[in-house]
Each structure stands twice: as structure tokens, then as C-alpha cells.
Amino acid sequence: MSEDEDLELQSLQRQLDDAFQTTRPRPDFEDELWLRMQARRPIWRRLRDALAALVDSVREAPAVPSAAVAIALILIVGAGILAVGLHPGPAGTATSLQAGSNTDRSATYGPNAPAPVPAPKFAAPAQGPTTASAGVADQSVHAYPNNIYLGPATLTWTGHLDVTATALPVFRYQEPTPAAAIAFAASVGARPSGDVAPGGLGAYAGDNFTLVLTGSVAQPAVEPSYKLSDLKSAPAAAGSDPVAAALARLAAHNLVPAWSYRTLVQTTGDTVQVKFLRSFDLQAQGQAGVVDGLGSPYGIEVDLSTVGTGSFETGPLPLSLASVDYPIISADQAIRSALASSAQSTGAAPYPVVRLTTAELVYKLVWAGDHSFYEPAFLFWGQFTDHGTTYVKRVLVPAIAPSLLSP
Amino acid sequence: MDADRPPFEDLYRDYLGRIYAYVRAQVSTSADAEDITAHVFMNAYQAYGRFEARNTSPAAWLFRIARNATTDHFRAHGRRERLRRTIEHQPVAQDDPARMAEERMQYRALLEHVARLPQRQRESIALRHSGLSFEEVGVLMSCTEDAAKMLYHRGLRSLRDAVHKEGA
């Protein structure tokens, strides 16, 4: 080998080193995959980890899934949607962390006139196009498409959006204090059992169950939540109603949601997941589902084992909500705003053309420090197919009048 | 937990990027690389209870899973596509349908040349530049350390020739 050839190969090796060291997946992939892995964990492993967490005091949550808590609830692995139902929601069955009913429309916050609030938005989108998987595709539940396209697209609108309301409530909660968390745990039947991790509201233990409480997360926005691992509950009986079984598990801990919900039941191996998808009752405007950073509904999830003992329950902490009515934009304005996010393709990399066909009123959590808001928004969506793969494109438009959205 | 076995979270953090790069260097789209990488870590996560650190390093264990997954991918999906490209003399696709522009990939052209190398040359280069020793590369490829070195250097020269040819 000549000296020149040797130098040339060495240069190539350096380039290869650089190439392999700089080739990395898009930033969201790490969190998304971690959550998929967590969702696939057998229920016994989750319970074991919950127990280990208590034995070792409160473990600091692994940094890996740091930015992805919000989409944990939408990641569905497995198959078999058994039922989708609508439930008006029993009143006052969960204990709020603060005085008052859970959705106290009579309680207001701040001055009488609505003050500017931060705008709701999806989880920080990648600068370039990217996709996210929300699990199993099911056309009857648009909320859980297989592939959500988060990148730019050329948009058109062919649907119908009917909005009769001119104002809608914005709900606000105050971040729970450690004392309130302890009181909540007591209402569930649990006592403090470990140190409080940074950002956490404590770990607790009751008779044969553990409870971990966490506060709000800024990005993606997540409300204070609980994770309850019931170590001894009996397996779900074959042929029994999973929703009834899940409600019984929640009732045993005073965690039956006080808000309205739809139920979604799925089976994954030997685990039955029952989701109680939260919505706000807007009276004349109907129900508006609460969506996460990808636009998918979420709420309480109860995982029941069909073969062994134990169950796992996670969901938002019952919080006292105050509300103020805010003027909202019209349907035409909402449609214009949705289309304003349309991107024009560049020649080299044409964007997908998406026909938005459907829109609905939803609520989206907006983190704002020691308090946070559930704000109304319009969720538009449509599908497109590329190389045989069908993607869902979603666009979130704040419903609140722009003059009342803080920059 | 095996005292010699690090928490899986540590492995995930340390190796996700490396495994992705190893896979990405061999497949044509970032979507495929994500799918395979996800498959690797899903399987690894499930099998981690059986991993014995005294028998192999975590890196060698993970890259073995990744190599098998990549081979399965080509077996299942790649043959027809590679045949089509050969017939049509088409380059590897620049990107996947979703055009995942966020992927950090500065040497795209170079890695596309790697992806076109004969399988064993490609694997030796990808494993070596993913940080494995020649001994580990040899074990993974079921050959001796010397044979792994030979394959690697042959692949390196093929790569140089391909780069020259494109520049000509």
C-alpha cells in the first residue's frame, strides 16, 4: 500500500468515525421508544418496580423518558379494542386535593375580566417533519392512529365545523402542595413511605398497594398525577366486564373519576387496559375531550391482569378547578387559522398534501408555573397516504380570542 | 438484579444512538432504522433478565440483537427493493415518506455508500465504527479476528473506490 493510499484510507476511517458518531435518531424517538417499552412491560414487572421503589425509598425517575410523560397514556401496544362508551361521570367520587368540587364553574380566578393566558399547543414539534406512533390504528377511534404526522404539510379543508358558543370556560388549577398530596394519599388509604423526589409529591403505601404522586410537568404539559400499584388485587375474571372491574378497583381507592369520560378497553397479552378518557361538559356545546401533546385523549388508565394478582392505576390527580369564561373565535376564524399553518413545498422535498376533513372542540392542558390551565382549542385532522402508509395530520388551533392569548 | 448487570435504562441511554447509527448505515430510510432499532430494544428489554454480563459485554449483546434484526429486515423486506435498485441503477432513497429531517446525519452520502457494500463488508465496517473491537466483530460475524480485519479493510477499499467513482 502506498503512503498516499494509506493516508486516504485513514481519512476515510476518520470520516466514518464522524459519520457513525453524528448519525442519531430524531430527538423525540428516544422518549417515544422508551414509552413504548414501558407500555409493553408485563403488569407484574410494573408492580415489582413499584414495590422496589418503595423499598429503596423514592427513586428519581430515569432521565430517559423525561419529555414523554404526556404521551404515555396514548401509547397502546397490542390489539383488541373491546368497547368504547360514553359515561356522564359520577359526581364527587374522587377526593379533590383542594376544597370545592372538581369542576367548580362558580369558582373564578383572578379578576372578573379574563386575563391573557398562554396558548395551547402540541408538544414541541420537531423543526422538520417527523412522525409519532400512537399505537394501534383503529378507525372507530380516530384518537389513536398508528402514525401521526407532525411535520409541515400543505393543507386544505373540506369538513364542517359548527360552533355556536361565543365564550367557553378556561379551567385553572393551582399546583398541589406537599401537604395536599399527603391529604390526598390519606383519602386513598396510604401513608408516606419515602423521601420526596425532585418534582415529586411523595411516595406512599397502604395495605398491599403503593402510591406515587408527581406534580405538573412543563413540557410536554402534564398535570399532577398518581400511579397506584395494587399488589394483591384478584385477577380480572374471564368474561367479566372490564370497565366494571376497573371501576371497582378505582372505587376501592376512592379514585373513581368525578369528571365525564368515555371508556376504552384494550387487551394486551394478559393485561386488560381500561381507559377513562376525560372530557369537560360544556352544556350546550356538548362534551369536549381533553387531549395530550399529540392531540390524543387521555385520562385514567387501569391495567388489570387476567392471570395473576395485581392491578395498576394511573391518572390525573383530582384537582379543584376554577373557571373563567373567555371569548372564543368563530368557526371560520378557526378554519382560517388551521389553514394558516399550511406549508408550501420546496422543490426538493415536497410536503404531503393533507385534506383536513374533521374538527372538534377539545381541551388542552397549558402549563404556567405554579398554576396551569385547561384551555379550549379546535383539533383539526385529516389523513394522507404516502408509499402505502397512512398518516394522520393534526392541527391544533387555540379557541380563545387571540387578544387574550399571551405571546 | 445481577450485580454485574447495569440497569437497562443505562444501556438504553448509552447505546440507543449507536445502535441506531449501526442500523441506519445499512438501511435506506430513517423510518426503517427506527423500526429496527425499536425492535432491537424491545427484544433486549424483554431478554435482559437472561443477559449474563460475565459471558459477553452489553455492547456485543446488543449489537448481536441488532445484527440479527437487520438481517431479518433485509430478509423480509430488502431483497426485492435491492433487486429493484440494481435493475434500475437507482440510488438509495434519500429519505423516507415522512422525511424525518430531524435525524442527525451529516455524512449521508458516505453512509449510503456503506449501505451498498457487500453484506459482510458492510457489517464489518458498521460494527467496527460503532465502537466494537475486531475481536468482538469477529465473534459477532462468526469469524476470526484476523478475518474480521480483512473483511473490514476490504470493505474500506471498496468504499474508497465507490466514493472515487462517484466523484469521477
Q: Which of B17, B42, B97 sits opposite A387 (nearest CB)?
A: B97
pLDDT along chain B (168 residues), means of 10: 73 91 87 88 86 82 92 69 42 40 59 88 93 91 91 93 77
Residue A32's pLDDT is what? 75
Instruction: List for chain A the helix, strand, coil content (%; round to 5).
Output: 20, 35, 40
**Would strands A225-230 and A209-214 be described as parallel, antiparallel, or unpaired?**
antiparallel
Within 10 angstroms of residue A116's Cβ, the number of other Cβ atoms is 13
Is B77 at the interface with chain A, CB within 8 A? no
| Of A226, A277, A266, A275, the residue nearest A246 (C-alpha) | A275
Residue A385's pLDDT is what? 86
Interface mutation vs chain A, best among B12, B80, B100, most A CBs within 10 Å: B100
Q: Which of B103, B110, B157 sits opposite A26 (nearest CB)?
A: B103
Look at residue A322 and give its three-state secondary structure. Answer: strand
Cβ contact B9–A64 (<8 Å):
yes
pLDDT along chain A (407 residues), means of 10: 79 88 81 74 60 45 34 29 41 45 48 74 50 38 62 90 92 92 92 69 85 82 88 73 92 93 84 91 89 88 80 90 93 95 74 92 92 95 85 92 89
Cβ contact B16–A21 (<8 Å):
no
Report residue A32 CA to chain centroid gap: 13
Phi, psi of B28 (to 5 degrees): -85, -20
Is A2 at the interface with chain B, CB within 8 A? no
Phi, psi of A278 (to 5 degrees): -75, 145
Cβ(B8)–Cβ(A33) below 8 Å: no
Cβ contact B129–A16 (<8 Å):
yes
Cβ contact A62–B9 (<8 Å):
yes
**Got the DSSP string for A243-285?**
HHHHHHHHHHTT---SSEEEEEEEEETTEEEEEEEEEEE-GGG
Residue A171's pLDDT is what? 94
Compute, in degrees rounded to 10, the torsion defined by CA atoms A196, A197, A200, A202. -30
Interface mutation vs chain B, best among A1, A4, A16, most B CBs within 10 Å: A16
Phi, psi of A266 (to 5 degrees): -140, 150
- Can you tell me the distance from the alpha carbon of A207 to that of A209, in angstroms, rounded to the nearest whole number? 6
The interface residues of chain A toward chain B in range 141-170, judged by CB-CB distance below 8 A, are 147, 149, 151
Q: What angle do CA A274, A277, A283 make, to 5 degrees?
A: 145
Cβ contact A12–B100 (<8 Å):
no
Q: Which residues in chain A are contacts of B163 at CB distance < 8 A?
A: 12
Residue B57's pLDDT is what? 86
Cβ(A317)–Cβ(A120) below 8 Å: no
Residue type, B17: G
- Can you tell me the distance from the alpha carbon of A342 to that of A328, in angstroms, rounded to the nearest whole number? 22
Is B25 at the interface with chain A, CB within 8 A? yes
| Of B75, B9, B10, B8, the residue nearest B36 (C-alpha) | B75
| Of A73, A17, A50, A101, the residue nearest A273 (C-alpha) | A73
Residue A330's pLDDT is what? 94
Q: How many CB pairs under 8 A join A and B?
A: 134
- Can you tell me the distance from the alpha carbon of A360 to that of A396, in angstroms, rounded to the nearest whole number? 10
Cβ contact A37–B42 (<8 Å):
yes
